[in-house]
Amino acid sequence: MGLGSYWGEVIDVLRDIIPVYDKVNSFISLGKDTEHRNRAISGRINKGDKVLDAGSGFGNMSKTASKIVGNDLDLILYDPLMPMLKNTDRLFDIKLDSTCGVFEHIPFQNDGFDMVLSGYSLRDAISLKTAISEIHRVLKKNGRWVIVDLGKPDEPLIRFGVTFYLRMILPIIAFIAGGRLGLKFATLYGTYKLWPQNKKLESLLLEKFSRVEFEKDLMGGAIMVAAYKLSLIHI
C-alpha cells in the first residue's frame, strides 16, 4: 500500500507546482488547511520538543507548531524535494536544519524525536507500511506522530462525494487559484485512489503504535491523526 511506481510521477508534479503550491492547497481545502494543522498539533506539542517535519514541503506544520509553543523547539525539515526545502526561508526568521529524503529511509537514529509531523505528505509515501515503521523507529518512547491529510471516508456514499470533488471540482478550483500550473493538482486524485480508507489507515497505524486518536472533518474527507509510541510499563 502506497504510491509504488507512481511516486516518481507525483514528485515530478510537486516539483512543477512549487510556485503555486500553498495558494492552491488553501483553495482546494476550502480554506481549512490552517485550521486542521492547528487542531492536530494543539495540545500535543511541548516546549523543547525535538521535532521532525516529515514531508515538510515549505514547513507549514513546523510553522504552526512554532506559533503554538513559541520558538522553543528543535525543528528539522525533511522532504524528498530540495527545491521545497530551499523555499522555507519565507516562513521562518531563522535558518532551520533540513535534510532531503523519503519516508522509507529516514537518515536518523532510533528513538531520536519527541514528535513527528506529517502535513499532506504521508499520502505520497512509496510504501505506507514501511513509512509507518520508519516513523515509529525514529520516535522516542512516549513520542507522538501528528498527521494531517485527506481522508477517505468509510461510508460509500460519502466516499463517492469526496471522489467526485477531487475528480471534477478540484481541477476547476486549482485552475482558478493557480492558472495552468494549478491544473497539475489533478494528480492528487491518483494519490487518493491509492490511499486507504480511514478505518484501514487507523488499523495500519495500530499495528505499530500503542494508541491512535483519529479526528475527521468535512464528512471524513479531512483527517487529523495522532499516533502514540507509548513505553511499556513492567510490573
Domain ranges of the chain: 4-229
Architecture per CATH, domain 4-229, reads as: 3-Layer(aba) Sandwich (3.40)
State the amino acid at position 13 in one-letter form: V
Q: Per-residue pLDDT for 233 more than 70?
A: no
Q: Tell me the average pLDDT across 167-176.
A: 91
Give the pLDDT score at 81.
96
Q: Which helix (H) or strand (E) holds 205?
A: helix 198-206
User: For a pLDDT cut of 70, what percent of the chain falls above it?
Assistant: 98
User: For a pLDDT cut of 90, what percent of the chain falls above it?
Assistant: 78
Which tens digits make up the pLDDT trace of 6-27?
A: 999 999 999 999 999 888 888 8
Alpha-helix residue ranges (DSSP H) falling in 33-169: 33-41, 60-69, 82-85, 128-138, 156-164
Confidence of residue 98 (pLDDT cuts 50, 70, 90): very high
Top-confidence range, 21-25, 189-193, 212-216:
212-216
Give the pLDDT score at 232.
62
CA 154 to chain centre: 20
Query: Please, are residues 42 and 63 in contact by the beta-carbon 8 Å criterion?
Result: no
Alpha carbon distances (Å) from 147 to 132, 186, 187, 204, 222: 11, 22, 21, 14, 11
Top pLDDT among 219 and 235 is at: 219
For the chain, the average pLDDT equals: 93
Q: How many helices (H) and strands (E) does the chain have?
A: 10, 7
Confidence of residue 91 (pLDDT cuts 50, 70, 90): confident
Give the pLDDT score at 140.
97
Model confidence, pTM: 0.94
Which tens digits make up the pLDDT trace of 121-168?
A: 999 999 999 999 999 999 999 999 999 999 999 999 999 999 999 999
Which tens digits make up the pLDDT trace of 33-59?
A: 999 999 999 999 999 999 999 999 999
Give the pLDDT score at 29.
86
Give the pLDDT score at 131.
98
Q: Per-residue pLDDT for 179 more than 60?
A: yes
3-state SS, one letter per residue, for 138-158: HEEEEEEEEEEEECCCCCHHH
Q: At 114, list the grid cell.
A: 519527541
